[in-house]
A = this chain, B = another copy of it.
């Protein structure tokens, strides 16, 4: 059954690196405190926004520890797991569980020629759910290894598999997933520029990069829709839309970090090979952030 304690705005958090590619824990802790103060309903390190594919288990573990030092189990901590084999995903899952994670958000494997078929994906998520023993949210973000609504529907019979963050395919894929599986599992929006539209279609929450940049506004959109104020929600969505057009796309964490800097939340470097935002990206962002 759907576990409603995981509903709402589950906010990703960036992983700040220093110039040598080491995690800057001071900045990370400051970001965590900032986000917790906004009233978000959950927090999620180690996803795409957190450059999780480039994080080792011990680093991911440390991020969860720092979060729980500040959070003290007030809101759920959903740890991102982005690995390329079942055993690596389980090992990472056990590590963050020990560090205090409340749930896992797990991508399918993604090295193009090694992505499995439905049977392999089923075994992958089932093994993780059973061996780690934490609630699992599938992070459906890999175009070359997409989890279909039919497959997710079957997976929902596995204990601990509770939801899906629908990223590939945009709002149309979200809606399809919602209509087919929404009565059994949690369906999260990851359509950063159309949050209102997905909330109006019954999303159980959002886990999306834009939440970490504009947590207050995204919480407002959520509350507006919950209270039936669709026009208010749409107005906010319209306003944030052009900024997301600049940020989205490959290596978006560098543009998120640049935008965070523009709102006074400097968040360090990305991990190589992702370099800092280009001059053109900075200029485009600066203009739009000022207009907001």
- A residues near B (Cβ < 8 Å) are 21, 48, 51, 53-54, 82, 84-88, 108-117, 119-121, 123-124, 127, 141-145, 170-172, 175, 179, 193-194, 197, 200-202, 230, 234, 238, 241-242, 250-253, 271-275, 278
**Smallest beta-carbon distance A225→chain B, Å:** 10
Report chain B residues within 8 Å CB of A200: 197, 200, 230, 234
Main secondary structure of the interface of A (DSSP, over half): helix
B53 touches A87 (CB 8 A): no
Quick one: which of B21, B82, B171 contacts A197, CB cutoff 8 A? B171
A172 touches B144 (CB 8 A): no
Distance, CA A53 to CA B273, complexed state (A): 17
**Smallest beta-carbon distance A139→chain B, Å:** 11
Given A112-B250, A114-B53, A115-B251, A120 and B274 contact (CB-CB distance below 8 Å)? yes
**Smallest beta-carbon distance A235→chain B, Å:** 11
B114 touches A111 (CB 8 A): no
B275 touches A119 (CB 8 A): yes
Distance, CA A115 to CA B117, complexed state (A): 24
Report chain B residues within 8 Å CB of A253: 114
Most B CB within 10 A of own CB, among A121, A200, A230, A241? A200
User: Which residue of B has the minimal Cβ distance to A124?
Assistant: B273
Report chain B residues within 8 Å CB of A110: 110-112
Distance, CA A108 to CA B273, complexed state (A): 9
User: Which residue of B has the minimal Cβ distance to A55?
Assistant: B85
Report chain B residues within 8 Å CB of A275: 116-117, 119-120, 123
Report chain B residues within 8 Å CB of A272: 85-87, 120, 123-124, 127
User: Which residue of B has the minimal Cβ distance to A119?
Assistant: B275
Report chain B residues within 8 Å CB of A179: 238, 241-242
Distance, CA A239 to CA B272, complexed state (A): 40
Distance, CA A142 to CA B251, complexed state (A): 15
User: Which residue of B has the minimal Cβ distance to A53?
Assistant: B111
A274 touches B113 (CB 8 A): no
**Smallest beta-carbon distance A161→chain B, Å:** 15
Distance, CA A175 to CA B141, complexed state (A): 22
Distance, CA A171 to CA B271, complexed state (A): 34
Given A197-B197, A250-B114, A273 and B121 contact (CB-CB distance below 8 Å)? yes
A-B contact pairs, 27 of them (CB 8 A): A21-B85, A21-B87, A51-B114, A53-B84, A85-B272, A86-B271, A86-B272, A113-B250, A113-B251, A114-B251, A114-B253, A114-B274, A115-B251, A116-B251, A116-B274, A116-B275, A120-B273, A143-B144, A145-B250, A170-B171, A170-B172, A171-B172, A172-B194, A175-B193, A179-B238, A179-B241, A179-B242
